[in-house]
Amino acid sequence: MDQIQLEKNKKKYKKKIEPYCPKTHYFKNCIKAFLVGGVICTIGQGIANFYIYHFDLTEKTVASAMIGTLIFIAAILTGFGVYDRIGQFSGAGSIATVSGFSNAITSSALEHKSEGIVLGIAGNMFKIAGAVIVFGVVSAYIVSMIRLLVQTLIS
């Protein structure tokens, strides 16, 4: 079958299935993502305020504790299947935060737990985490080198 005929068939197929495809509601999806992401960030700020008030942490030192708590909460919610429902509802609103990263790692670990601790849980969990960590480290290095270069040129 030649290329022109293939393209015509693709167009006919798209026209045929168009009435059966669900319509995407972009504005509604953006609002849901914004609201859920905002709620997650608000919960994070509440945790930070709690740690500052009750554990006498400073604003500089509270970030690690707050992020660790959000990661822990997201992992627990993923284990119970709650975070997946939040993700289905909000889309990008739940994966754009650190809790989305926790969900991805925990889901991968739970999915492969039948393969054993080392090859199943750890191996598959770090397939996702490894790429994100490497990208983060490389990005931080590049940004810091650019900053050093700019500071050197300015002074």
Alpha helices of the chain — where are they, by DSSP H? 3-17, 26-55, 62-79, 82-90, 92-95, 98-111, 123-154
- With a pLDDT cut of 90, the percent of the chain lying above it is 50
Predicted confidence (pLDDT) per residue in 38-87, tens digit: 999 999 999 999 999 999 899 889 999 999 999 999 999 999 999 999 99
Task: State pLDDT tens for residues 19-47.
Answer: 888 888 999 999 999 999 999 999 999 99
- The tokens for 118 are 């080392």
Please give the pLDDT value at position 1: 58
> Are 35 and 61 within 8 A, CB to CB?
no
Range with the largest mean pLDDT of 79-88, 105-114, 128-137 = 79-88
pLDDT of amino acid 113 = 79
Question: What's the CA gap between 40 and 27, in Å, rounded?
Answer: 20
Percent over 70 (pLDDT), the chain:
99
- Give residue 7's pLDDT band: very low, low, confident or very high (50, 70, 90): confident
pLDDT at 124 over 80: no
Please, what is the average pLDDT of the chain?
89
pTM of the model: 0.71
